[in-house]
A and B are shown apart, each in its own frame.
Chain A
Amino acid sequence: MTTVEPSPGLAQPHRLAWQEARVEAIHAETPEVKSFVLRPQSWSGFTAGQHVDIRLTAPDGYQAQRSYSIASAPDDSGTIELAIEALPDGEVSPFFHDVVEVGDTIELRGPIGGHFIWNAPLGGPLLLVGGGSGLVPLMSILRHRASVAPEVPATLVYSARRYDDLIFRDELFRRRDADAHFRLEVALTREQARDGLHFGRIDAALMARAIGTETPKLTYICGSNPFVEAAASLALAAGLPFGSIRTERYGG
């Protein structure tokens, strides 16, 4: 049905060691999402779209692990940014929101992931479709594209509940206004349309508009499983080839 090419420029697999990372900054992005700038002790870069694994350890040795995508673009700052949504009754995400402070150290390892990634040799046009915190790896791709290949056409379709839930909202609108090759389609599911934003779930009409006249070479879809299922079905129904669509599912 499809052939899946390995992505160019992927580092050879190596042993991923756990290491400590210092929390350098924390920003409230939306009522439910905070971003965390982390400085791992040793970091040799990553590819946009990858994630890290976080490991928390209680005093008695009990541990919890979760995965979080990297929101920042690969650069030589030696830091990475995560954006974490607080889930009610969750174990790890509320800890980040309620307990973690600048100066803390958090154990992580990475980067991880060799499929939901983009670098300039992969080219475009790109269609990025994110639901809720599924925006995070797409943001890394967008930021990376803006700095290394701004001529690659990219469209972001981003679904959130409300205007105030749009992660990195100001930056996205700024990029939309400043970048002729970047288009933004926002769908708000629980709030009326405003500022050219669409009301309701992503549907066939919105998908058709996002695809526009230039068929994307690669489509990246990320979010909860129901979101990814719905968006991938729309992309297939719009005629995008199965093998050009990559998904990352955050569970649920």
Chain B
Amino acid sequence: MSVNLGIPAVRSSGEGNLFAHEKFQSAAKRELKNEQLRANLRHATHTIRDKRLNVVSELPDWEELRESGSRIKENVMARLPELLEQFEAAFTARGGVIHWANDATEANAIVTSLIRATGETEVVKVKSMATQEIGLNEHLESLGINAIETDLAELIVQLGHDRPSHILVPAIHKNRTQIRDIFRAEIPNASPDLTDNPKELAATARAYLREKFLNAKVAISGANFGIAETGTLGVVESEGNGRMCLTLPETLITVMGIEKILPRWEDLGVFMQLLPRSSTGERMNPYSSLWTGKNGPDGPQNIHLVMLDNGRTRALADKNGRSALHCIRCSACMNVCPVYERTGGHAYGSTYPGPIGAILSPLLTGITAEENSSLPYASSLCGACFDACPVKINIPEILVDLRAQDVEAQHSVRKAPTEMDVLMKGASWALSSGTRLKFLEKGLPAGRLLAGKDQRISWLPGIAGGWTSSRDIPAPPQSSFRDQWAQREKFQKSQGSQQSQQSQASQKPTGKQGE
């Protein structure tokens, strides 16, 4: 029990599907063995990446749009309390009802009671990261309420009793034959002769879901944007399943993270240029729906919105990591990430995979949360994600900061120094003195002996073993840089008497490259 001192608790942690159940390093090792997954992923991420580059280069003002997008989001975070209240007032004035949820448990309970009030036991659902984050489907299922995913990829994942592995193309890890097998087994009226032709597969899903849409009384959605000035919510999609859910049922329940607010109507004109191009590499997604409360006989009569914290205020309190909340879930960062491309989304363990997942999950749960502390290390820090991000989230910088936080946290709980501590101590001892370093470098040839014929060391004894358990390191060079430098100096001195100072200054380095 905590004692209430009149100060609100800042650190309310996120819960739900935000946790890795296993360290990234070991999950990644297993996923790497799945060659089918890697081939599918490679094809998909490279295709989307190329499409994205094409449509982005069409816009002469892409960088200006990014800059505005980034600053608008910064402004949203700085003014969040005021904007949330403005949104609530506008949304409520148009007949909508707002519910606030501190965490996943509260949000799930609110949605459940809203559904129960309608007496329904089956609801249709638009793909939504927020509801996936809080584990809504599983929660509803445990209470006997069937939430049917209507996005084709989500349906494939749901019918396959699987987990999504990408935020944009959740079934990216399944190929057409696998999908056909799932449909044949799980869709009641699917033809036994169903082929793996994508057109036929999509038609099967259409027939199956249309009946559900026409009869559904309750729908659940997420929201891409909530506009404070007008109280408008927006959902961006492709297939029309969103439009079906958002307009046909009597009751619509939306779950939205509190960070999704945009201040003004005109801001939507910025984000609707940034999002589709970054996301699917299209100039615009096929369908977007915008609604501002109730609209007479056009659309649902009961409009609910659950405003979700679930660790967002905790992330907001992290000044260095806060900008992770700017994320518009476009997935551009995962499509360019060399680590994601090889490990796939499941290795990250939570709803949010890829570079953004590596920072967002630990920010929402806290770095000390079990296993999530390994996520900031799931990166090569190559910076491709930062370049791709339409709202300029500096993911590499946040990764480094979170690593530092992790090291701090580990320090405070550990009694005995770790191997890493010993190594670092040793390195600082060696690097702080030229003589010591020189002495140590004499050991380099021994390193070459350790390496095999291919001049790579894949196993190191003792304290350095942790490093080589997940990567090979090249063997050390024959002689140290310091030795080479000294020799070069010696050589130049002996040449010096014959050459002028000037030609020496323009002399190119003579060292051979790529031995």
A binds B: no
Query: Which residues from chain B sit less than 8 Å from chain A, CB to CB?
Result: none
Binding site for B on A (CB under 8 A): none
